[in-house]
Amino acid sequence: MSTTLEQPVTPALPTTERAESPPIERTGGLFRAFWRWHFYASIIVIPVFALLAVTGLVILFKWQIDPALNPGVMTVSQPAYGAPAAASRQEAAVLAAYPGATISAVQFGGDDRATAFTIDTAEGATRNVYVNPWTAKVTGDLDPDKLPSNVATEIHGMIIFGQIAQVELFTDPVTGSANTLGSIGDRIIELAACWGIVMTLTGYYLFFKGRRGRLRRVAAGARGAVLRHRHGLVGVVTGIWILLLVGSGLPWTGLWGAKVQSVVTGSGFSLWGEDPGATSGLGDKLDAVGNTSAPAPWAEGAAPVPQSDGDMGSMPGMDHGTGQSAGGVEGRISLDTVMAVAMRDGLAGPYFVLYPSEKDGVFSVLADMWHDRSTPAYADTTLERVVHVDQYSGAVAGRYSFDEYSPVAKVVSQTIAMHEGQRFGSLNFVASALFCVTILVLCVTGPIMWWRRRPKGSLGAPRGAMPLRARPWLLVVLVALGLFMPLLGLSLIVVLAVELLLLRRRRAEHASA
């Protein structure tokens, strides 16, 4: 919620404006202090939340926006009868159209969607190549970095995106990782998320504490009263979603999420999950693919990936003569075989297949909430699962599923599904879309109310210092929030320091007057 204006900014306001505000004795210093901190939080939150709301809408409607902007490439006409072409035949069409290319991943689609192969061309460019699954003909290729959904995804997660986001600045003293321009964007989002909690909680206090005076002003037809009342009504509903989505978004952050994970790993309360005995993370491999529309499933992404063992031998009954070697790499099993192994292991399609990038790597076949909306796990995260297939023998080298997630990882995965508008079908989707719209409404109405009421030449911040001495529990709450969310704690110190300087300045001005 953004600024809910309940009291006059300054006694110098015109009489008509002062009449709209509730009497000071009925609200007290705490009301003024919360109003002021709601104002501070809004300054930090509004620009970031407005950006997240717009990009969130693009991500929600990516299944409609991307194909509409690329007609005839990402979608195809599904015939009335017949079966899709073999996976190896579709793969062969890509290799024939792009000689010297290396295939790093493939997403098989449902309904009318084309199969999408992610390749690195002979020139080193990353492209998504789309193939009609019924005719095995290439329909076109696109730069994944320029797809609206991918651009929105990067902005939604980092603000700063593209090659410039990879520029290294310094080593993060908290996480020990390289701090890039992109990570600064991540910290800005994390800071806004933390202050979003402050804005929401103070907004609830202002809404319920000032409801009587607000309703009286609406009934009296006071100027701006209707807008403030509607702003509060929208905010009181939207605030629930803000707290929920901030909670499901913080685990993704580079500071809070990474630090909490490092603390709880090995304790059974991991944010992700633990799959011992592997060599590298699935999430890192997916990031390296370059297809940002296909991130790793939450817990699976942090789980390590096993290795292929060239001496394992073939699985009983495995047919290695089906199709060409996957990716055209000699000695590998075919893509048809990879999919057959996953199907025999009980994995539900359509699949996202990550090709091995090393000689001892494995095929990782995923069915999850991220890659295709026809996959059962898209709407039910409990069905999320990955099967790793040895690239030479076709044996199952490892598997990982929702059942193996840590308890905390299960909860986080469910809340993320809600965050993405996928957990409860159309109801969740519509609610998420409306949430983005209401966030934009609050981000517009809050500044409008501030602009109308601020004195000319003044910031117009509501007056009222936080009564920490009179109410020590407020200090306890601030310290607890600051310790739990370090970025919030650091910014609170800055805000309190500014408050102290402003207070001294006002006292000096009064003394000299």
Query: Which string of DSSP letters, residue by residue, matches 180-244?
Result: EHHHHHHHHHHHHHHHHHHHHHHHHHHHHHTHHHHHHHHHTT-TTHHHHHHHHHHHHHHHHHHHH
pLDDT at 414 over 90: no
* Confidence at 422, pLDDT banded by 50, 70, 90: confident
Tens digits of per-residue pLDDT, 217-273?
888 888 888 888 899 999 999 998 888 878 767 766 767 766 666 665 555 555 555
For range 304-331, the mean pLDDT: 65
pLDDT of residue 268: 53
pLDDT of residue 256: 72
Q: Does residue 416 or residue 17 have the better pLDDT?
A: 416
pLDDT of residue 65: 94
pLDDT of residue 503: 65
pLDDT of residue 246: 80
For range 424-431, the mean pLDDT: 87
pLDDT of residue 402: 84
- The rounded mean pLDDT for the chain is 79
Which of 104-118, 272-286, 388-402 has the weakest average pLDDT? 272-286
DSSP H helices in 122-180: 148-158
For range 31-46, the mean pLDDT: 89
pLDDT at 303 over 60: no
Tens digits of per-residue pLDDT, 450-507?
888 877 766 677 777 777 777 888 888 888 888 888 888 888 888 888 777 776 676 6
Tens digits of per-residue pLDDT, 253-265?
767 766 666 665 5
Residues 6+ positions from 272 with CB-CB distance below 8 Å: 261, 298, 299, 301, 302, 303, 405, 406, 409
pLDDT of residue 153: 86
Among candidate residues 275, 231, 139, the one with its CA nearest the CA of residue 443: 231
pLDDT at 26 over 60: no
Which of 21-30, 76-85, 246-255, 447-456 has the weakest average pLDDT? 21-30
pLDDT of residue 293: 46
pLDDT at 45 over 90: yes
Task: Decide if 177 contacts 171 (C-beta within 8 A).
Answer: yes
Tens digits of per-residue pLDDT, 436-453?
999 999 999 999 988 888
Q: Does residue 288 or residue 393 have the better pLDDT?
A: 393
pLDDT at 282 over 80: no
Q: b or e along 157-192 (b: 16 or more beta carbons within 10 Å of the residue's beta carbon)?
A: bbbbbeeebeeeeeebeeeeeebbbbbebbbbbbbb
For range 162-189, the mean pLDDT: 73
Tens digits of per-residue pLDDT, 332-365?
999 999 999 999 999 988 999 999 988 888 999 9
Question: DSSP letter at 432?
Answer: H
Q: How many CA atoms lie within 13 A of 261 on its CB side?
A: 21
468: exposed, middle or buried (Cβ count in 10 Å: 0-12, 13-18, 19+): middle
Calculated CA dihedral for residues 463, 36, 203, 431, nearest 10 degrees: 130
Q: Which of 273-287, 392-406, 493-507 has the highest mean pLDDT?
A: 392-406
Residue 295, φ and ψ in degrees, nearest 5: -75, 170
* Confidence at 15, pLDDT banded by 50, 70, 90: very low
